[in-house]
Structures are given as structure tokens and as C-alpha cells.
Structure 1
């Protein structure tokens, strides 16, 4: 039986090629994902570990939790602590570290590093082994800076040049005193690093005379644990905590691995979809192969082969196909992994250098997935083949499914579909978090139900295309009849395309609706023409709001200044605003009271008012970071949203309690409204700063929706794999259908249907099957998009379902194009059949 199985594989090489390709693509996606994520994770971990080479023990401030009416705060690491740390017996040196966001502009005014990878810090001079100089000298005073060599090369800077940079808003123009090299993971991943002398860095980052961290190196012979113990005894335990360099590296590696895990999971989900779609093709292929060899298998049974041996022979074929596809998929996956890394780099992605990582786990996963998926998909056809009675098989009276089996299939499908719809509808009545799991369960049940019911659905839906098919004459009529001749095969072929289009359509409906809703939210909540903020979301200097207020054409402006407070023993963030201007800059619906922010009168959003039981006129006491308290009165309650929410009070009341005032945003309204010239005027007033974003309403909504747009583009790209697999499935089905109907096609040729008619018949059959899968996929995708939108609507009052008719039409055309392309080779093969040979074929 083993030799028989191998002979069958070699005898049907062409028939199994599409199956090998389908499995190979799925395996390639899995192994490519593993190679890519392992490579990136390893590169980041190695790069991160180098950053801790100069640190044996790190001393960090211990955050003091908020308790009672006391606002939590982070204590300062003082100069005295630095000196104490350097004097412990096991310490060779102690370095105070200060750092933060620092945007460096190139000579064209563009940001050199990414929004989050642009960093700055302090330089300790010749003894600072972290950053060896390759040109120039150490910085002295506020007018000198060091740049890392990679950023200097990218921006075209050399020693002596003037560079434009920003820390918290205002533009600085120091001179490049020197250029250094570094193993800092941030820099090797494409970021930038600017270094100042310590006093300048402390002043720029709001750490006058203090540090963010103290890095201590051990003397030869002193271990990290021993040095940590000495520092614990010498420093105040209630203010600082110490961590060994090894633990810092291990924690960082774990953080990187956890971050890559979510990316890996997301990519593997799409790989799973491609494999799931491929499973239909494999099952379809083996079903047809078994059907073509029915008499052969029956003869084996007649000469003594048992059912188990027949099943085993088919599974051996599947094992060989899966093993070949697994090896080919692994090799292709290595190429995909390398290509993804290069692609991310070409699009400006930040990724450190490192070798391509091909772990034993990746190799094992590729082979196991390839073999298991193929054998599982082939098991049901193998079992059916073994159950055929030998005499019945040799007389070919076994082919059609019984009425009982069809009724059972349709009943099961209807139950699954009904359960799925019921669970989804129930989930739409829940809130966002609690409804997610039921929604996912309902979607799975409904897809299974529709898949099982697809043979039943194929007849009425394909029959609906009859009027169009008549336009193509006898070829169209034959194509329609052929497409419903074997409903199960048609269903399996169409289902592969259906699943891909369901996901694409659902994501498109969601993304379009969210974009519309965010645009609506921005238009309804904000009257300001512009919102100004830092590129990386860090706080702005208060000087920015002052400069904007003094700019020509600005009629009103207000900073949004956040500060932590304690109210009724709970931590609450207050937003300080310009009380005289905020009502002109926002357009928030007021539920109760009036939108008045003046003196000690505040406004709160509806959620917080409900949580605390506040109404207009309610009094509350806020405790600030300086330990002082202020009595406040609720003047009004408004509807908050994702852009504006929380407790607003007059900036004049809040700011005196803050040691380091900083603004998250500044709202600006101008006399001329939003225009390119107005935006340019505001940018020039701020020194054309690369670190600052000036956004109008459209820019603001686009930035919020950017994550959805990025996800949608990723989904299009990743699900393209599933669509390619679906195309292979259609090609496979048609090719085998042509083989099965060779005698019938020969007869059609003999009675007058020319080669062009044969080609048209096969192409139209493929088109009908593909459009059938497309209609099902788009219909399900729209339903899922609507249902998911109902969950989003519980948190976004402006959410509104928007159907992108243009894109839906493109998806349907795409399904048709899949059918036409997939039919090219089978149609050509059918047209070239020898008439006489086909007629006498058995």
C-alpha cells in the first residue's frame, strides 16, 4: 500500500501541483512571520543589551503612591545621592543621567529621527565611556551639542555647523561641538541622540540639579549583587530603588519579546486564515483525486485491501505532499522574512542591524504545519473512499450523495448559522468590552454555518445569474449548469474566496465608518482652527502658548494643561484652560448648567459627574501636588468624547500649584480661519519647529484614524495571501473538472461547439463560481461590519455606519477578475483536447 501511494503521487504530479502551492503559501507565511519576528526581536534585544554594558547597578527614583488627599510624586535623585553612590566601597564610578525627547532637524527642517526615537541627554566628558567621540570636543554651555554619527551623516552635519533642535517647544540653535558613536538601541534603530553638558541638559529637561537615573559601575572583583547591596545600605530606601544591569537587560529583553509577541500573533492570525482557506483546496483536490480513482480503490478492496489500508494509502499521499510543501514553504518563508525586514527599513521603519534568525522551532513549525494541515484536509476524502463498497464502486453507482446526508448537512448548517446570528445580535446590545468575546464566537459560528449551507445556497444564487448567462448563448447555459452540477465542489471552491472577502469587507466597512465618525466628532467638538502639540505627544513649554497668543491673526487661544490631583481620595487629572477663551474654541453639548470656566467654577464631563454624583452647584475639594487644597464649584456638565473629556478649570487657579507647568495641546482660533498661509504663519511664529505639529480639524481626525488606516492597509496586504490561495483553488477545481469531463467536452466539440465556445464555457463557469463566493463574502462582511460598529457606538456617540459602495463594487469586480484569471489555463487545456481521444476516454 505504501508503494501504491507513492506511485499515485508520482502519477498525478500535475494534479497535485496546485495543492502543493496552496500549502506552500500558507507555510511560507507562517515561517516568514516567525523568521521576521525572531530576527527583529533578537536584533532589538542584542542592541538593548549593549546599552547596559556600562551599567552594573542603576539607581532610580521610587514613585510615591497617591494616598488619601496626597498626590503621588516621584522624588528627585540629588547631587548628594550621586556623590554617595560613587563613594560606596565597590563602586568604580557613578554617573548621573538626564534625558528626554529632543527633536533634531536636518538642513531642510525635517525631523531626523522618528517621533518617539528622537532623544537627548547629558554628556560627562572624556570619562564618559558610553559615547566615545570620533570628532570635535565635549560640549560646554548651552550653545554646544554633540550628535550621534548616524544622525549627523543622515542630516549632513559636521563639527562647527549650526543645528536646529527642540526639547519642549522653542527652537534652539546650538553649534555641533562634536560627533560620537554609540551602541544605543534607539540610534541603531534609526533614531537620533543629542547630548549636552550636564547643567544644560538638567535645565532643558526640567531637572535643575537632579537626575533621572544614577548608573554605577563596579570595581574589578565586585559583583553586581554585592554592589547593589552596598548601594541599598547607603541610599534612602524610601526614595530610591536599585536594579542590577543584568536584571535591567533581562527585563528589557522580556519587554521586547512581549511587544513582538503581539505582532507575531497578529501576523500568524493571517497566516492561519491563508492555511484555513488552503484547507478547502486540499480537501477539494483529494476529493476529486479519490473520485477519479474510485474503480482503482475498489479493485484494491476486491483483492483484499482493508478499509484502513485504503485510508492509509490516501493519507500517505497527503503526507508526501505536505512534506514537500512544508520544505518549499520554509525556504520561501526565509525569503519572506528577509524581504519584510528590508521592506520595513525602506519605508523608514526603525530596526537595528542583526543576522537573519532561523530557529529550530521555525523549521519544526513549518514542517509540522505543512504535514498536519494536508493530512487533516485529506482525512475525510480518504474515509469516504474506504467506505465505498467494492462492487458498487466498480459499477460507478456510488457517486451521488444521499438525500439523507444532504438534509443532515443543511440542518446542521442552519443551526450553526442561526446560533451565530443570535449570538451576534445579542452581543450588539452589550457594551464594548463585554460584547467582544460573544461577537467573535458568533462570527465563527455564522461562518461555519454559511460554509456548511453553501451547497444549498449555490443553486438559487447561481440561478439568479441565468438571464446574464443566456446572453452568451449555449456556452453560458452550459457554464451555469456545470457550476451547479456538483454543489459541494462549487461550495468548497467559492468558500475559499468568501472568507478572504468577508474579512476585507468587514474591515473596510469598519474603517470607513470610524473615519466618518471621527471627522464628525472633530467638526462637532472643536471650534478652534488649529490644535498645536508635540510630535511625540510629550508636553509643550508654556512659552509656546504665549507665542501663539501673540501671533498676528490669532483671535483666541487656550492651552490644555494637565495636572494630577486627589478628589475624594481618588486620583483625577485636571485640565487647566483659558477660562475666557475655551467656550469659543470648543463646541461641546452641555447637559446641565452652563459651560462656564472662571475662577473656581469648573465644568466636568457626564461620566465623572455620574461617578461622583455631581450636579451644577456641587462643591468639591481638589488637592494639588504642592500639598495645597482648593474648593471648586461645578458650573456645568458636558458630553465628553475621545478628543475632549475630564474636569476643566481656569488655568489661573491651577498653574500656581504646579512646579513644572507644561501643556499637552494649545487650541488656536484665527481671524482668517484654517488655510495654508495661516498655518505657515503659525509655524514661523514657533520657529518652523520640526518637533511641533500644527493640525487643523482634518489633520486631527486623520491622525486619530491613522491607526485604523494602517491596520486596514496591513489587512489588505496580508489577506492578499488568502486571495492568492483562493485563486489556486479555483484553478485546481476547474482543471480537475475539465479532466473529469473530457469525454463530455469531446462530444460537445464533435457536435459543433468550437474551441472558442469551449473556452468561453469554462471561463463563464469560473466567473459564476467566483462571483458566488464574492457575493457571500461581501454580504457577510457588511453584516460583521455593522455588528462590530454597534459595539463601537456604545463608546463613540458620533459613530454612524457608512457603506463604501465604491470599494464594495471594486471587491465584487476583484472576485470576477479572480474567476477570469483562474480560468485561463483550464480553458486553454479544455479547448486543446483531442476530440477523438476524448470521446473514447473512459
Structure 2
């Protein structure tokens, strides 16, 4: 069997080119996503501040449901929790520890002719990098500071100078008593070093450290294991080697989780697309060989032998393609890493971990998909009776079979149900449902195949017949070869539908959030700063004449357990810290009172309260941004959750569990009779006390998920670009193969009197018909869920988004279809008709 398969494969290399490319490209995308997922588990960003420490002990970084082991069921904290200073002595007592040093870390800004962001530390922790004095001495009193050399140069100060440092209040003056430089480059941060007592005070967390750096004694190689054993039962993270960067940079752990989620979702979509692309390509290849397979059946080949023959041919092609695709996946992974770093999903320094497991899995998946597709494609030609073999080969049977018809109907019904979900759900769930419904609908269309295409082609053939002989032939060809049309139409529809729903679902959601933010913001002015605003600003603004209300606003996140059937996962969502709004922010309160929002309380959106079955006075359990579990009493429910999230906490509680301990902004609302010019001047004077702070109008307020949606938007564009590139290859393969198959048909038309120009016009008419159907159906499929999504979120059926993007998507699909049909037609017509008519199929 292998020998026969090899001989047939050599004789029909062109027939397997499409399948080869489809498997290769699909495997490469899946391997690239697998590399990203492995990197999310194993890789990270090299440490800077802890370069000299052997082991670093930080607070627990992962919130995980009880008993859950899957990485994607947990979430990393956004703010790294601190550890008690009593752990320093406990760690120091571990055998093999030479020294343990606690480090205080807090955001600080140097004000000297400009505002320079930095991190403040205790001088004792300078040894962890290590920083050594280049000039001057270490700080000895609370009003002295040491600057790192790079910061001192930018700020233009030297030993003996004086700088103003701002943390959570107005700037305070410090004498510069030393300039320190690291042993190796520190490029992602600048440092200020205070006495231990002053750093403890400025950090706002007395008696606690951001981390503890541990030095090993000579010859000790298992220090991390020893420290872990000594701290068993403590909620801490013990990191060594490259993992030390996760304690230093809070964004690393979050990026790893996000990278795993994105690559898993992206890889799943790529795998789903690959299944249908490979299946369609192989089905077309088998269809082109129906006379050959029918002849084998007629000379006594059994159905099992036909199936084994097609399977053996496919395995030979797919094994080589999957092997090459796995290697190509390394380059795809690096390309995706660079793209995700450029849009802010991961840090630019995030390194890839390229191991054999993702490549092996991608290879096996690629080979498995090809074998599955070969089995599906071989079922009909392997089972037809020998007496009907030659007759079956002569006429195309449009009926896809009962089971395919039932499956197609079920998928279309499921897609219709999913498309209506945005009317009942909101947020990310609505977007996921809308997007998934499009893929499910295309799957249903592919199952129905010729049965779904037939009425559309008949409708398109009516006007086509009016364009003379070439139009008549184009219409007749399309109706007589519905399988061929369906094979070319499915990937073309998929490319249009997938691109449209991926782009416009995000524009609709973003527009809905911006609209609701505008409605919810009742303030006249927004006081903000790049790194945050002192809580004193809102308090001081309340005392300005003409100010009716001034609210502290803290953008944060919370985490909650979500039950998915029998499994539990942690979901991390945006939340808002709010203090004394009194009309500066209108969240559309439905029950309770936001004035009661203080202490251990919370307000929830109506949808979230209904989901949790919570009523006013009930306790709500969740985790704050630093992973601390809390039980909060529900005091209010509100309606406008697209604006600022579904959870509203007291501002003081949100600040206490954030790294900066600052407000994100302060909202100021004026009294009706206020002198706007006078109030604006007073607010500008107030902002001037806090360098870097600005006063703008209400338009500066952005939805809570604005940055997340922007990142998600670019992630979707990257995903769409890669998937569309893959689908484009499939479309080109399919159309080129179907056109090349028709060389004898073109020759026959020319031998009976048709000219080369007439054949080209006929093919051009067929191409326009195919592209027109693909655009119409490919637009209609995502239009339904997008209209429902827009109706559910914005109250209008017209999706928001630039029409130019839609035109670019359908223009790309049209150009691809016309070129993929036109170029091989021209090449096929170069041969003399008398030579081409004698060519074998």
C-alpha cells in the first residue's frame, strides 16, 4: 500500500501542493502559539534590582481557586503584596543563608526643573543590585537621600545639592548626600535611597517590605528549597534565577497570564480554522481524482483499501509539512512575541522559551488533522459500489449526505442562538458569543456545502445569463459544479466574516463604553497626573468656592471566583474606587446609596448582583488587586457598568491595596451659579502645588476598560492578520487547484470555436460571481451578531466603526479571488488546445 501511495503521490504532486501548504502553515501557527504559551509558563524578564541576590522572597503573586491546578484557572495579582519584616530574621536563620536584606519600594517623583519618575528604597537594600557609592556617603538622617547616577544626571543634581521628592503629598526637600551606580546596567527604573526609617514611613506600609533578598553561603546550591521549607505556610513567593524578575516587576506575572490566555485562544482558533482548511483542501484533491478512485473500485479495490491508500498518501505529505511547519513555528513565535510586545501585551524584554514540547504537539496536531481530514474525504469515494463507480465519477453529486445536512443545520441553529446572546449579556461575554457565533455559522455552511450554495448560485445565475454566451457558460459551470464552488466559497467567506466580527465587535464595545462614560461623568473638571494624583487634591478641591462636589477616583482591579460547570476559575476585572462623589459621577444607582460606600463595603452593577444573587446588606467575597481576600457588604447597585466596571469600592480601600496609594484622578463638579473662570484658576493653583498635575474638562475621563480594550483591539488585529494570511493561502490553493483542473475544459471550448478572450471573460464572470457571493454571505453572517451586539450595548442596530475598514476587508477578499482565478487561467490557456485536450486529469 505504501509503495502504491508513493507512486501515485509522485505522479500527482500538483494535487497535493494545496494540502501540503495548508498543513505546513497551520502547524506553524499552532507551534508559534504553543511556544508563546510555554514562554508564559517558563519565561519572564531578567531582574535588575535583585541581580546580586541568590533568592528573592516576595508576597504571594497568584490567586488560585482551592484545588485548581490548571494555570489558566488562576490569576496573577496586579499589585505585588508586601511581606512582614519579621520574615527577615526567619530567613536569616535558615542554614546556608549568608545574609537576608529587606527592601522597601514605593513610587516617588523627583521635582527639580521637571518631574522625574523613580522608585524609593531603603539604603540597606542597595546591596541587592548592588549599588555602590560613586560620590558622597550613605544617608544618615530623614532629610537625606542618595540618587542613582543616571537619575542624578537627568535631574542635573550632584552631591551637596537639594531635590524635592513627591510621594503621596506635596513635594518635600531632601539633601543629596550621595550618588550611587550599579555594578551592571539598570535600564527600566531609577532609584532614590533613604534611611531605613524614612523609607518605612514613605512606603506607607510600616513594618513590611516589598521583598527580601537572600544571599547564599559559599557552595550552597539549594538555597531556594531551604527557604521554601522554612517559610512553609506563609503566603510568599520564593524565586531564584530568571524568576526573580517576577517579584521585581508586577507586570511580568500579569503578562505571563495574559500571554497564556491569548496564545491558548489564538491557537484554538487557528486549529479550528486549520481543520476546515485542510479538510476542504483534501476533499477537493480527492474530488479531482474521482475517476482514478472509481477505476480502482471497479477493478476490485475494497473500501478499506481506498481509505488506507488516501490515508497513506496524506500521511506522507502531512508528515513532511508538519515537520517543516513545526520548525517554522519558531519564527512565527518570535514574530508574534515582537507584535505582542509592540502593542503592550508583554514587556519588550520578555524572552521566549523554545522547547521541544510545543513543536512536537504542533507536529502531532498537524498530522492528526490531516489524517482526520483524509478519513472524512475518503468516506464517499471508498464506499460507492463498484458497479456505480464509473458513473459516479462522471457526474458530480451535490447532495452532501444526511449526516452532514443534520450537522450543518445544528451548527446554524447554534450560531443563531449564540448571536442573540448580546441582547441578554454584556461585556466580554457578549463579544465572545458574537465572535464565536460567526465561526459556528461558517462551520455550518461548510457542512451543508453544495446544498447551502445551490440556491445562492441559482439566484446569482439569473442576471449572469443576460451577459451573452460567456455569462451563460459561467452560470452553467457554477450550477453544474456546486462542490467546487462550495470548496472555494467557504474559506473566502470565513476570511471576510472572521475579519469583520473581530474588528467591529471591538469598535462597538469601545463606543458603548465611551458613550456610557460620557453619560456617567457629571463633573465639570478632571484633575489628573501621569502617575496618579494625591488624595489631598480632592479633599482640597471641596473647599474651593463654587465647587459642589469633588470625588476621588481610583482605577483598580478585583478578582472573583467564577464557577464554570464543575470547575472554578479566578476572573480579574476592572473596578473603581470612589470617595464622596455627591453627583460628580452618576452611575445610575438603582438601589441603596453610594454615600454608604465606606469601610468594608461595595457597590455592584445590577447584572453582577443578579449573577451573584446578592441583595443590599449581603456579603460579597472577592480578592483585591494585591490578592487579599475580603468580605464586603453590598450597599448599592447601579446600572452603568460599561463605564467604570461592575465593582465600586471605597477609594480608601482601593488605594490601600495599590502600589502607588494615589488617586487615578479627581472629579470636580461646580455649583450652578459658580464663576467658572475663578474656579478654574483656583483649581490650577491647587494643581500647581503637586507638580505634574493638570486640570482638564470632563472629556478627559475614559472608560475603565479603555486601555484593556485598546490592547485587545490590537491583539485581535494581530490574530486577524495571521489567520487571514493562513486563510488567504487556503483560498489561493483552492482556487488555483480548481482552475488548473479545468485545462481540458478550456481546451474543449477553444476547439469548438471559443476564443481565448471568451474563455477569459467566462472565468472573469465566474470569479466575480464567486467573489460577489462570498462578500454578500461573508457580510451577512457577522452582520446579524454585530447588529444584535450593537442593539444590546448601544441601543442602535448600526454597528460603530470606520466604513473604510469594511471596504478594505472585502477589497482584499475580492482581489485575492480574482487573482487566484485569473492568473492560473491565463497560464492554462498558454498551451495549444490540441495538446491540452490530450492531457491526463
**Counterpart for residue 728 of structure 2:** 727
**Counterpart for residue 107 of structure 2:** 101
**Counterpart for residue 712 of structure 2:** 711
**Residue 336 to residue 433, structure 1, CA distance change in 2 (3 Å):** closer
**Residue 418 to residue 520, structure 1, CA distance change in 2 (3 Å):** same
Deviation of 1:491 (Å)? 2.0
Query: How far does the alpha carbon of each residue in 1:73-102 deviate from its partner, in whole angstroms, 9 at most, with x for none?
Result: x99957x98689878998754433211234
CA distance in 1, matches of 2:588, 2:88: 53
CA distance in 2, matches of 1:354, 1:662: 28
Query: How far does the alpha carbon of each residue in 1:649-668 deviate from its partner, in whole angstroms, 9 at most, with x for none?
Result: 999xx99xxxx996453113
**Counterpart for residue 628 of structure 1:** none
Q: In structure 2, the residue corresponding to 1:701 is in which secondary structure? A: coil
**Residue 183 to residue 828, structure 1, CA distance change in 2 (3 Å):** farther
**Counterpart for residue 836 of structure 1:** 834
**Counterpart for residue 559 of structure 1:** 552
Match of 1:507 among 488, 502, 507: 502
Q: Looking at CA atoms only, which structure, 1 or 2, has the larger radius of gyration?
A: 1
**Counterpart for residue 199 of structure 2:** 201
Query: Residues 168-179 of structure 1 correspond to what in structure 2 (within 5 A)?
Result: 168=168, 170=170, 177-179=178-180
Q: 1:335 and 2:338 equivalent?
A: no
Deviation of 1:711 (Å)? 1.6
Check the 8 A contact 1:562/1:664 in 2, yes or no.
yes
Q: 1:132 and 2:128 equivalent?
A: no
Mean alpha-carbon deviation: is it higher for 94-103 or for 638-647? 638-647
**Counterpart for residue 765 of structure 1:** 766
**Counterpart for residue 115 of structure 1:** none
Deviation of 1:431 (Å)? 8.1
CA distance in 2, matches of 1:594, 1:280: 54
CA distance in 2, matches of 1:738, 1:230: 69
Count of paired positions = 765
Deviation of 1:322 (Å)? 1.0
Q: In structure 1, the residue corresponding to 2:552 is in which secondary structure? A: strand
Query: Residues 592-631 of structure 1 correspond to what in structure 2 (within 5 A)?
Result: none
Q: 1:783 and 2:810 equivalent?
A: no
Query: How far does the alpha carbon of each residue in 1:151-174 deviate from its partner, in whole angstroms, 9 at most, with x for none?
Result: 889x69896698887533645787
User: Could you list the runs of 5+ residues in structure 1 that have no partner in the other structure?
Assistant: 62-73, 113-117, 564-572, 615-631
Query: Residues 375-774 of structure 1 correspond to what in structure 2 (within 5 A)?
Result: 375-390=371-386, 392-393=388-389, 395-400=390-395, 406=401, 409-422=404-417, 425=420, 429=424, 446-466=441-461, 469=464, 473-533=468-528, 535=530, 540-545=533-538, 557-560=550-553, 577=579, 582-583=581-582, 585-587=584-586, 589=588, 641=641, 642-643=643-644, 663=663, 665-669=665-669, 685=688, 688-689=691-692, 696-701=697-702, 704-774=705-775
Q: 1:123 and 2:123 equivalent?
A: yes
Check the 8 A contact 1:490/1:769 in 2, yes or no.
yes
**Residue 468 to residue 639, structure 1, CA distance change in 2 (3 Å):** same
Query: How far does the alpha carbon of each residue in 1:332-352 deviate from its partner, in whole angstroms, 9 at most, with x for none?
Result: 221122233444555677647
Q: In structure 2, the residue corresponding to 1:833 is in which secondary structure? A: coil
CA distance in 2, matches of 1:285, 1:107: 66
Deviation of 1:103 (Å)? 5.5
CA distance in 1, matches of 2:459, 2:293: 39
Deviation of 1:365 (Å)? 1.8
**Residue 294 to residue 48, structure 1, CA distance change in 2 (3 Å):** farther
**Residue 550 to residue 180, structure 1, CA distance change in 2 (3 Å):** farther
Deviation of 1:106 (Å)? 12
**Counterpart for residue 20 of structure 1:** 20
CA distance in 2, matches of 1:514, 1:523: 14
**Counterpart for residue 316 of structure 1:** 312
Deviation of 1:364 (Å)? 1.0
Name the TM-score, length of structure 1 as normaliser: 0.73
CA distance in 2, matches of 1:226, 1:688: 46
Deviation of 1:436 (Å)? 9.7
User: Could you list the runs of 5+ residues in structure 2 that have no partner in the other structure?
Assistant: 62-80, 557-574, 618-632
Deviation of 1:464 (Å)? 3.8
CA distance in 2, matches of 1:384, 1:437: 36
CA distance in 2, matches of 1:230, 1:330: 40
CA distance in 2, matches of 1:230, 1:384: 63
Deviation of 1:812 (Å)? 3.2
CA distance in 1, matches of 2:319, 2:230: 58
**Residue 200 to residue 475, structure 1, CA distance change in 2 (3 Å):** farther
Check the 8 A contact 1:588/1:640 in 2, yes or no.
yes
Deviation of 1:45 (Å)? 7.0
**Residue 317 to residue 558, structure 1, CA distance change in 2 (3 Å):** same
CA distance in 1, matches of 2:157, 2:770: 64
Q: In structure 2, the residue corresponding to 1:483 is in which secondary structure? A: helix
Check the 8 A contact 2:553/2:579 in 1, yes or no.
yes
Deviation of 1:318 (Å)? 0.9
Check the 8 A contact 2:40/2:259 in 1, yes or no.
no
Deviation of 1:451 (Å)? 2.7
